[in-house]
Structure 1
Amino acid sequence: MKQIIFSLMIFSLIIGCKTESKKQVTQEKDAADLIIESITVPEFPDNDFSIMDYGAVGDGTTDNTQAIKDAIQACVEAGGGKVVIPAGKFLTGPIHLKSNVNLHLEKNSEVIFTKDKQAYLPVVRTSYEGVELMNYSPLIYAYQQKNIAVTGSGTFNGQAGKENWWPWSGAERYGHKKGDPHQRDSINLPRLRKMNEDATPVSERIFGEGHHLRPTFFEPFESENVLIKGVTFINAPFWVMHPIKCTNVTVDGVKVISHGPNNDGCNPEYSKNVHITNCVFDTGDDCIAIKSGRNDEGRRVGIVSENIVVENCIMKDGHGGVVMGSEISAGVRNVYVRNCKMDSPNLDRAIRIKTNTLRGGFVENVFVKDIQVGQVKEAFLKINTYYAIYDNQEGEHIPTIKNIHIENVTVEDGGKYGILIQGREENPVKNVTFKNVTIKKAEMPMRVENSEPIEFTNTTIGGQKY
């Protein structure tokens, strides 16, 4: 009942998106704060379980998989608490979190994940680019758990690089050598895509050994009340933080420094009530990318990603600062981005929405406020309904994009375009507003196709007022 009342409150606050700008500002503030206040942040009993008491050795070479597992199990049997990893270098296989456990990294601690791929077997239920499957275990994994956390000031080192995990992307710059296996081989992504189309049961989508789909770094799956606080992630195989089908997720003060292929920083998927704050993203792909399933599977699952607040974050390198898509078939709504700084010659866009007519889906009610942008390569805002990389992406599912509101933004260099919108003639982009926005420099102020006219208030692009 509490969740129903909260959802009705959010709906009532944003339903007037096409009213005057002053009212929109009040609605944005109130709705974002309501989301944050509604999120349950897990708390844990005052019980500490040091992995050293279970035989751990912090020499960087001893395998501590069993010691960490035993400490977690003891914590669970005691009713919950904190599993402590002290200063040192601790080699391990995958870590599976359990309910009421806070995995805590003390200062100068480093958890180093083994390069031995056999350690990530047996396969578990996970996801790859918006499609569920049975695959190598994520490095840190939680399935159907409640009240879980990773906290502290230490570092998680995935040990991915040009000799480990990254070559499977198929890109030479990430270590792939011609003739070696990679993710686009017929036994990998093409097979998974076909299983998506055929609605093959997830239990029968078995990959793992003999296949070449990289695991995510930290994946809470169908879990509730998740906290990620203070830690640093480096050298990720694939997506870094991937809460999928989760409710109440807090990501606070986390650093992601990882420049590998598909090294997105945080990808909430089919998730609601998410707060990402005080973080630094320096990534090889999107800093934050909000997802909701790929193509037929996203439509079958039908869980909208919604009520997501991103604030007080710094975005450095990446394909996009805050992104919605491209796996977006179930839809995204109620996204609030505020008080963030985005700046890098290697940041392609600040705000990005990407989909196509195979993905379809919708994006609605996006509020971007009080943002400082230094340099981006392509555009401050890019909305693209023709997104494609490797193959044909045309289908019969025309996406809907509406109610995108930008306010109090300063951009030093907007790149090739200040604003780039590529909508569909069958369903143009609707209700995009800019208020108190200055884009000081852009090769072309804007390129807009198949969109309702943008509503400008006190906006300047390249010295021209709109």
Structure 2
Amino acid sequence: MKRIILLWAILIGFSAQAQLSESERKAAIQEIVDRIQVPVIPEYSVSLTEFGGKGDSVSDNRKAFEKGMQALKKKNGGTLVVPRGVYTVNGPIHFVSSVNLHLEEGAKIRFGSNPEDYPLVLTSWEGTMLYNYSPLIYGYGLSNVAITGKGTIDGEGGGAWAAWKQLEDKDKQVSRDMNHQGVPLKQRKFGKGHYLRPQMIQFFETENILLEDITIEDAPFWCVHLLKSRSATVRRLKFDAHNFNNDGIDAEYASDILIEEVKFDNGDDNIAIKAGRDNEGRANAATPSENIVIRNNLLKGLHGVVIGSEMSAGVQNVYVENNQAWGYLKRGIYFKTNPDRGGYIRNIHINNIALQTVEDCFYITANYHGEGEGFNSKISDVFITNVSCEEATGTAVVIQGFEESKVENVKLTNVKVNKTRNATSITNTKNVIFDEVIIGEEATVPTSVSGKE
């Protein structure tokens, strides 16, 4: 293995735009956090058992949840308590405003996997708006909603739903064609005879959201999807989700989001910041994903923190603070876009991240999967500080732009990668700075030829 040492300042191009000082970065984070509102839930509380709920693992509790939600709606909100037990639900739970779904310790909600039990709802699938099978827990156009408690939500996604993975390619392509061709939304219906798996928890055009303390396992598709929503706190969740595409948290066209103290263990991205796909995403440029704080989390899975690949409306003002891996990640930080997307990724601040064994520590690419043409994305103003990595089995730092749209203004400061196969692969960039970066074994004082100066 070549030992490639990058120590002190290495400058590629010219100087990047000035990054925030530590105090400025902390102030920017605090401004976002202060703006986020936790939901206001009335004091009123009822138990699921009051509506016929049975935690015997056999009885279908769908009607009990429907009755409970409607009863709370009539009371202008409150808490629906799920006591200890296993509650099978054959179909989705549809939220109403001003409700906290509270799972007591030892409570598990377990969803059925018969597609016929899940009606079509307006949703998004990999960045394209369409009608698909309802997410298992779904809220649309709401305010002040919460899911809390020490219980577990089990999507039972490893059986019938998982079998759809090998059948979805045709529908995936149809959805993308609809996006590119501007097919009216009412005509984008994917139900019986189609194979797009539903998300597990989705809040859509909803504000003041709290997800706290629950465990999420075995999702059919993405685990938590914050779609066109704002003012959300996701705190102290635990994931055990290893099915296909089991992203932990996907924020899409989302703003003012706090993700903290979450323990990830996912079969795909831990956190993915998205903003719509291609033509449709670019048409929604007024609603980028922005003002997102990701801090004090434990990362394990495929990739740690991801931006893209669906990010056509733009992603900006993301702060990633004090996170560490507790197991394997293929890539620690991964920005991915391609010439189908357009849009931008900018003003990203990553500070204090500890990685173990990865394939690549940082991978920033404008050519994800080599797809598309005509809509290059702009990636700029990315600041990465205080990073340690035990080993990169691939490449420590990868940055890939295009000659006509270079990745611009990236600075890595105080980065240490103890062992790697390759140090860097940096192409089509401008203003990339390495400062106090050591990849491999740190160089000491130079040696001299024996007997000579």
Task: Judge same fold: TM > 0.5, yes or no.
Answer: yes
Does residue 343 of structure 2 align to residue 356 of structure 1? Answer: no
2:353 to 352, 356, 371: 371
Structure-1 separation of matches of 2:16 and 2:430: 15
2:223 to 240, 249, 254: 240
Structure-2 separation of matches of 1:456 and 1:464: 15
Q: Once the 2 structures are TM-superposed, how far is the Cα of residue 27 of structure 1 from its aligned partner?
A: 2.1
Q: Once the 2 structures are TM-superposed, how far is the Cα of residue 465 of structure 1 from its aligned partner?
A: 6.5
Q: Partner residue of 1:380?
A: 361
1:293 to 276, 292, 300: 276
Matches within 5 A, 1:275-286: 275-286=258-269
Show CA shifts across 1:350-407 (max 9, x none): 1110000001221001111111111112x1110011111xxx6121011100111111
Show CA shifts across 1:62-84 (max 9, x none): 00001111111111111211000
Q: Does structure 2 conserve the Cα–Cα contact (< 8 Å) formed by 1:349 and 1:380?
A: yes
User: TM-score when scaled to structure 1?
Assistant: 0.90
Q: Does structure 2 conserve the Cα–Cα contact (< 8 Å) formed by 1:317 and 1:344?
A: yes
- RMSD over aligned Cα atoms: 1.5
Does residue 291 of structure 2 align to residue 304 of structure 1? Answer: no
The structure that has the greater radius of gyration is 2
Q: Does structure 1 conserve the Cα–Cα contact (< 8 Å) formed by 2:37 and 2:208?
A: yes
Q: Does structure 1 conserve the Cα–Cα contact (< 8 Å) formed by 2:16 and 2:410?
A: no
Q: Once the 2 structures are TM-superposed, how far is the Cα of residue 447 of structure 1 from its aligned partner?
A: 0.8
Q: Partner residue of 1:253?
A: 236
Q: Partner residue of 1:458?
A: 436
Q: Partner residue of 1:13?
A: none
Structure-1 separation of matches of 2:196 and 2:350: 34
Q: Once the 2 structures are TM-superposed, how far is the Cα of residue 454 of structure 1 from its aligned partner?
A: 2.4
Structure-1 separation of matches of 2:352 and 2:175: 41
Structure-2 separation of matches of 1:459 and 1:451: 18
Q: Provide structure 2 residue ranges, at least 5 long, that are not aligned to the other structure.
A: 1-14, 445-453
Q: Partner residue of 1:164?
A: 160
Q: 1:68 is paired with a residue of what secondary structure?
A: helix
2:308 to 325, 330, 350: 325
Q: Partner residue of 1:178?
A: none
Q: Does structure 2 conserve the Cα–Cα contact (< 8 Å) formed by 1:268 and 1:305?
A: yes
Q: Once the 2 structures are TM-superposed, how far is the Cα of residue 413 of structure 1 from its aligned partner?
A: 1.0
Q: 2:72 is paired with a residue of what secondary structure?
A: helix
Q: Once the 2 structures are TM-superposed, how far is the Cα of residue 344 of structure 1 from its aligned partner?
A: 2.8
Structure-2 separation of matches of 1:289 and 1:231: 20
Structure-1 separation of matches of 2:240 and 2:443: 38
Q: Once the 2 structures are TM-superposed, how far is the Cα of residue 212 of structure 1 from its aligned partner?
A: 0.5
Q: Does structure 2 conserve the Cα–Cα contact (< 8 Å) formed by 1:343 and 1:376?
A: no
- The residue type paired with residue 137 of structure 1 is S
Structure-2 separation of matches of 1:193 and 1:402: 27
Shift in CA distance, 116/411, structure 1 to aligned 2, threshold 3 Å: same
Does residue 104 of structure 2 align to residue 119 of structure 1? Answer: no
1:135 to 128, 132, 136: 132
Does residue 184 of structure 2 align to residue 205 of structure 1? Answer: no
Q: Does structure 2 conserve the Cα–Cα contact (< 8 Å) formed by 1:217 and 1:236?
A: yes
Q: Does structure 2 conserve the Cα–Cα contact (< 8 Å) formed by 1:380 and 1:415?
A: no
Q: Once the 2 structures are TM-superposed, how far is the Cα of residue 415 of structure 1 from its aligned partner?
A: 2.6
Q: Partner residue of 2:17?
A: 18
Q: Partner residue of 1:44?
A: 41
1:66 to 63, 78, 96: 63
Compare relative contact order (CA 8 Å, sep 6+) and give the higher one, 1 or 2: 2
Structure-1 separation of matches of 2:82 and 2:75: 18
Structure-1 separation of matches of 2:334 and 2:422: 18
- The residue type paired with residue 298 of structure 1 is G
How many residues are paired up?
A: 428
Higher strand share: 2
Show CA shifts across 1:251-308 (max 9, x none): 0011121111111000000010000000011111111000000111101222200000
Q: Partner residue of 1:393?
A: 371
Structure-2 separation of matches of 1:286 and 1:45: 35
Q: 2:386 is paired with a residue of what secondary structure?
A: strand
Show CA shifts across 1:26-83 (max 9, x none): 2221111110111011121111110101111111110000111111111111121100
Q: Does structure 2 conserve the Cα–Cα contact (< 8 Å) formed by 1:17 and 1:24?
A: no
Structure-1 separation of matches of 2:65 and 2:340: 43
Q: Once the 2 structures are TM-superposed, how far is the Cα of residue 115 of structure 1 from its aligned partner?
A: 1.7
- The residue type paired with residue 131 of structure 2 is M
Q: Partner residue of 1:268?
A: 251
Q: Does structure 2 conserve the Cα–Cα contact (< 8 Å) formed by 1:262 and 1:285?
A: yes
Q: Once the 2 structures are TM-superposed, how far is the Cα of residue 464 of structure 1 from its aligned partner?
A: 4.7
Q: Partner residue of 2:382?
A: 404
Structure-1 separation of matches of 2:250 and 2:35: 20
> Kindly, what percent of the aligned residue pairs are identical?
38
Q: Does structure 2 conserve the Cα–Cα contact (< 8 Å) formed by 1:458 and 1:465?
A: no
Q: Does structure 1 conserve the Cα–Cα contact (< 8 Å) formed by 2:16 and 2:432?
A: no
Q: Does structure 1 conserve the Cα–Cα contact (< 8 Å) formed by 2:16 and 2:433?
A: no
Q: Does structure 2 conserve the Cα–Cα contact (< 8 Å) formed by 1:88 and 1:108?
A: yes
Q: 2:66 is paired with a residue of what secondary structure?
A: helix
- The residue type paired with residue 204 of structure 1 is Q
Q: Does structure 2 conserve the Cα–Cα contact (< 8 Å) formed by 1:343 and 1:375?
A: no
Structure-2 separation of matches of 1:208 and 1:85: 30
Q: Does structure 2 conserve the Cα–Cα contact (< 8 Å) formed by 1:322 and 1:352?
A: yes
Shift in CA distance, 208/239, structure 1 to aligned 2, threshold 3 Å: same
Structure-2 separation of matches of 1:457 and 1:24: 15
Shift in CA distance, 17/24, structure 1 to aligned 2, threshold 3 Å: farther
1:439 to 417, 424, 428: 417
Q: Once the 2 structures are TM-superposed, how far is the Cα of residue 211 of structure 1 from its aligned partner?
A: 0.7
Q: Partner residue of 1:8?
A: none
Q: Once the 2 structures are TM-superposed, how far is the Cα of residue 202 of structure 1 from its aligned partner?
A: 1.5
Shift in CA distance, 298/353, structure 1 to aligned 2, threshold 3 Å: same
Structure-1 separation of matches of 2:72 and 2:61: 17
2:98 to 95, 100, 103: 100
Structure-2 separation of matches of 1:273 and 1:201: 30
Q: Partner residue of 2:449?
A: none
Show CA shifts across 1:408-431 (max 9, x none): 111111231110111111111111
Structure-1 separation of matches of 2:393 and 2:44: 52
1:82 to 79, 82, 86: 79
